[in-house]
């Protein structure tokens, strides 16, 4: 047996016990006549002591040769420490070692195995197995497990059944790109890896399973943006015989349970907001409502003077930055420069200082008087000491710019507190969104989303106005879940495919099985999917999903540790009926 106890376990009550411990050498202190070793494992650190007088000579000698990250096993006696360490759970005791076995040696690791390491991102990814030895990474992985099992037990108790859907499915060129898998046994044919189990979960509802969930890997072959992974994990859920209200209640229940069980936070009822309201108030469909700075639309109180910039704008909109009047001129200029960067693309910013004495000083005093500015303060909710920031222009672009500014300022002002949780349902999403590139409407959620009752007719005349039975769950400014009530009859589904530009042959080839299924008594159904990576990161008070994934890929989609992807054998290619078609 390698150990009788782990390294986080021994206490004063264990003094005089003979124990066997195993683990990694965190560090050694060699004073000649005495050697101390910090022995580490997943559970903690226990101090070992070797001393000239009490330790056999050959053991003492071996101890002086231990290097960082050596794997050792020791036998010894638990003794009371002379200088106790109240910061360590095992800090009252140490082990007087009588036997020492080196189980494995270690080269000097390329970075320190400490909470704060000297290793950069690239190095840590290449040696991820060493990075995982660091407590913050290890704790993140354990945290992820706790969240996942809490989800499973909650849903299971609520009558949901976890069903495994297939990974080798069929490619559907709609939506993001699929990863495909050539079939050896079916020449010239390919499986695709699922972007989500969407159609399968709907078929499970047709199959009468009633309440389904699955924690499942999904795949998207996209050009990776920061913090996106080609493989990611969803909590995928579907229910039959439900309306939107039933789903919101069911998954508000799940999220409340997680916040309570994982974070000890109780939230009574999640606020709800329509998509239109979210866009008007926050310029964003996933607003962070942990703080204010709500948008105030100023068209009515800013387009009556000679300031053409505003007069020609579709939207004039501002936010009141709490305490922003303390910003120096230089700080405000920096803000304006930040807004003008191509990523944001604003042309400039108008601002109003709200002085403590109730007067205003604006960058457009030439055009607006104190009465005007008082109205702006009223609309944006600005108080003395605040700074009003105003942008104008095209409605959608301006909202996006002001939303970016709002988030940027909140970050700077420390308003995005990681231990505060502000969930929000955003409902009534548009069914379609306009795609600039292809110059047509696309399904905002996916082609299986049901329009709101009675709105199907609008498709012909005013497609952008059609609202869907679609909803997102937002937590601290991140979309953590999204879903919809689905179409469940063949005619409507066919109409939708037709509207989205599928020929009936394409619709049949790709989704014929689903439309067939709808002919055999499909029940009304709907669902939601949570992004587990993101959810875990946010519950963990962080925003980088990579820190919660054991073996993430880099931004080029590579696993730098195992060096994948990689070329394959010519024989393998031949068996798969493939040839490489290099461009260069």
Q: Which two tokens stand for residue 395?
A: 């409605």
Nearer to a copy of itself, 453 or 567 (CB): 567
Residues 6+ apart with CB under 8 A from 371: none
Q: Which two tokens stand for residue 281?
A: 């108030």
Among residues 35, 95, 151, 192, the one that binds a copy of itself under rule CB under 8 A: 192
Nearest distance from C-beta of residue 130 to a copy of itself, angstroms = 6
Looking at 140-148, 277-285, 316-324, 425-433, which segment touches a copy of itself (CB under 8 A)?
A: 140-148
- Categorise residue 556: left if φ over 0, alpha if ψ from -120 to 50, beta otherwise: alpha
How far is the C-alpha of 145 from the C-alpha of 319, rounded, in Å? 40
Strand partners, 27: 38
- Our finding on whether 491 is near a copy of itself (CB under 8 A) is no
- Our finding on whether 572 is near a copy of itself (CB under 8 A) is yes
Nearer to a copy of itself, 131 or 288 (CB): 131
Residue 479 assigned to a binding site: yes
| Residues in region 72-111 near a copy of itself by CB under 8 A | 103-107, 109
Nearest distance from C-beta of residue 179 to a copy of itself, angstroms = 5
Nearest distance from C-beta of residue 225 to a copy of itself, angstroms = 13
Among residues 5, 40, 256, 446, the one that binds a copy of itself under rule CB under 8 A: 40
Among residues 50, 154, 179, 270, the one that binds a copy of itself under rule CB under 8 A: 179
3 state DSSP class of 52: coil
The neighbour count for residue 394, using CB atoms within 10 Å, is 12
- Our finding on whether 186 is near a copy of itself (CB under 8 A) is yes
Beta strands 18-30 and 231-240, pairing class = unpaired
Query: What DSSP state is assigned to residue 223?
Result: P
The neighbour count for residue 489, using CB atoms within 10 Å, is 14
- Our finding on whether 332 is near a copy of itself (CB under 8 A) is no
Nearest distance from C-beta of residue 62 to a copy of itself, angstroms = 16
Residues 6+ apart with CB under 8 A from 575: 184
SS3 per residue for 453-501: CCCCCHHHHCHHHCEECEEEEEECCEEEEEEEEECCCHHHHHHHHHHCC
Nearest distance from C-beta of residue 232 to a copy of itself, angstroms = 10
Cα dihedral 360, 362, 367, 372 sign? negative
Among residues 190, 252, 384, 492, the one that binds a copy of itself under rule CB under 8 A: 190
Among residues 4, 34, 70, 303, the one that binds a copy of itself under rule CB under 8 A: 70
Residue 445 assigned to a binding site: yes
- Our finding on whether 183 is near a copy of itself (CB under 8 A) is yes
Strand partners, 471: 427, 483
- Our finding on whether 253 is near a copy of itself (CB under 8 A) is no
Residue 257 assigned to a binding site: no
- Our finding on whether 558 is near a copy of itself (CB under 8 A) is yes
| Residues in region 511-540 near a copy of itself by CB under 8 A | 512-513, 517-524
The neighbour count for residue 31, using CB atoms within 10 Å, is 9
Query: What DSSP state is assigned to residue 535?
Result: H
Say if residues 384 and 356 touch (Cβ distance below 8 Å). yes
How far is the C-alpha of 550 from the C-alpha of 51, rounded, in Å? 40
Among residues 138, 260, 341, 417, the one that binds a copy of itself under rule CB under 8 A: 138
How far is the C-alpha of 244 from the C-alpha of 7, rounded, in Å? 50
Looking at 168-176, 324-332, 397-405, 431-439, which segment touches a copy of itself (CB under 8 A)?
A: 168-176
Say if residues 419 and 540 touch (Cβ distance below 8 Å). no
Among residues 12, 347, 562, 570, the one that binds a copy of itself under rule CB under 8 A: 562
Nearer to a copy of itself, 240 or 404 (CB): 240
Nearer to a copy of itself, 182 or 385 (CB): 182
- Our finding on whether 189 is near a copy of itself (CB under 8 A) is yes
Nearest distance from C-beta of residue 66 to a copy of itself, angstroms = 11
Q: What angle do CA 18, 19, 20 make, to 5 degrees?
A: 140
How far is the C-alpha of 78 from the C-alpha of 98, rounded, in Å? 11
3 state DSSP class of 71: strand
Looking at 50-58, 121-129, 277-285, 379-387, which segment touches a copy of itself (CB under 8 A)?
A: 121-129
How far from each other are the two terminal CA atoms of the chain, in whole angstroms? 58
Burial 263-291 (b: 16+ CB within 10 A, else e): eeeeeeebeebebeebbbbbbbbbbbbbb
Looking at 164-172, 286-294, 400-408, 454-462, which segment touches a copy of itself (CB under 8 A)?
A: 164-172
Q: Which two tokens stand for residue 76?
A: 């010894």
- Our finding on whether 381 is near a copy of itself (CB under 8 A) is no
**Site size with a copy of itself, rule: CB under 8 A:** 131
Nearest distance from C-beta of residue 69 to a copy of itself, angstroms = 4
- Our finding on whether 276 is near a copy of itself (CB under 8 A) is no
Nearer to a copy of itself, 134 or 353 (CB): 134
Residue showing tokens 């879940």: 481
Q: What are the C-alpha distances in Å from 369 to residues 180, 252, 307, 327, 417?
A: 63, 48, 12, 22, 37
- Our finding on whether 576 is near a copy of itself (CB under 8 A) is yes
Binding site per annotation, positions for ATP: 220-222, 229, 479, 531-534
Binding site per annotation, positions for L-aspartate: 174, 220, 445, 486
Binding site per annotation, positions: 174, 220-222, 229, 445, 479, 486, 531-534
């Amino acid at each position: 047996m390698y150990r009788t106890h782990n390294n986080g376990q021994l206490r004063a009550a264990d003094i005089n016990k003979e124990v066997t411990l195993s683990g990694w050498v965190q560090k050694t202190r060699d004073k000649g006549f005495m050697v101390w070793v910090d022995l580490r494992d997943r559970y903690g650190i226990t101090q070992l002591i070797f001393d000239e007088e009490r330790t056999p000579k050959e053991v003492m000698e071996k101890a002086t040769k231990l290097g960082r990250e050596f794997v050792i096993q020791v036998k010894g006696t638990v003794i009371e420490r002379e200088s106790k360490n109240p910061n360590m759970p095992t800090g009252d005791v140490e082990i007087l070692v009588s036997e020492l076995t080196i189980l494995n040696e270690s080269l000097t690791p390329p970075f320190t195995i400490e909470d704060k390491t000297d290793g950069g991102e690239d190095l840590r990814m290449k040696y991820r197995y060493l990075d995982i030895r660091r407590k913050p990474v290890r704790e993140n992985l354990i945290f992820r497990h706790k969240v996942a099992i809490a989800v499973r037990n909650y849903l299971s108790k609520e009558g949901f059944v976890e069903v495994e859907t297939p990974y080798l499915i069929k490619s559907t060129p709609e939506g993001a790109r699929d990863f495909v898998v050539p079939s050896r046994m079916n020449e010239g044919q390919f499986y695709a890896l699922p972007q989500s189990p969407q159609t399968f979960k709907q078929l499970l509802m047709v199959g009468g399973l009633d309440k389904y969930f699955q924690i499942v890997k999904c795949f998207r072959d996209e050009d990776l943006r920061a913090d996106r992974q080609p493989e990611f994990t969803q909590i995928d859920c579907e229910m039959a015989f439900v309306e939107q209200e039933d789903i919101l209640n069911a998954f508000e229940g799940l999220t409340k349970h997680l916040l309570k069980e994982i974070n000890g936070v109780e939230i009574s009822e999640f606020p709800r907001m329509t998509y239109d309201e979210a866009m008007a108030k926050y310029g964003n469909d996933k607003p962070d409502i942990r703080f204010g700075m709500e948008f105030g639309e100023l068209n009515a109180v800013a387009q009556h003077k000679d300031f053409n910039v505003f007069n020609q704008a579709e939207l004039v909109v501002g936010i009141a930055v709490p305490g922003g009047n303390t910003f120096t001129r230089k700080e405000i200029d920096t803000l304006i420069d930040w807004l003008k960067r191509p990523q944001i693309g604003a042309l400039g910013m108008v601002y109003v200082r709200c002085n403590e004495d109730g007067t205003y000083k604006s960058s457009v005093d030439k055009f607006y008087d104190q009465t005007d500015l008082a109205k702006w303060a009223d609309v944006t909710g600005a108080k003395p000491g605040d700074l009003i920031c105003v942008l104008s222009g095209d409605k959608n672009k301006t909202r996006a710019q002001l939303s970016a500014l709002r988030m940027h300022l909140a970050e700077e002002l420390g308003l995005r507190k990681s231990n505060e949780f502000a969930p929000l349902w955003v409902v009534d999403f548009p069914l379609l969104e306009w795609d600039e590139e292809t110059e047509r409407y696309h399904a905002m959620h996916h082609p299986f989303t049901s329009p709101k009752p009675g709105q199907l007719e609008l498709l012909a005349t005013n497609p952008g106005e059609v609202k869907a039975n679609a909803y997102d769950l937002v937590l601290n400014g991140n979309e953590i879940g999204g879903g919809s009530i689905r179409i469940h009859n063949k005619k409507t589904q066919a109409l939708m495919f037709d509207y989205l530009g599928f020929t009936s042959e394409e619709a049949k080839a790709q989704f014929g099985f689903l439309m067939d299924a709808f002919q055999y008594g499909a029940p009304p159904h709907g669902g939601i999917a949570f992004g587990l990576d993101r959810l875990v990161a946010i519950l963990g008070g962080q925003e980088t999903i990579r820190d919660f994934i054991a073996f993430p890929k880099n931004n080029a989609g590579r696993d730098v540790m195992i060096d994948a992807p990689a070329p394959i054998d010519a024989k393998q290619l031949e068996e798969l009926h493939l040839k490489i078609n290099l461009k260069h």
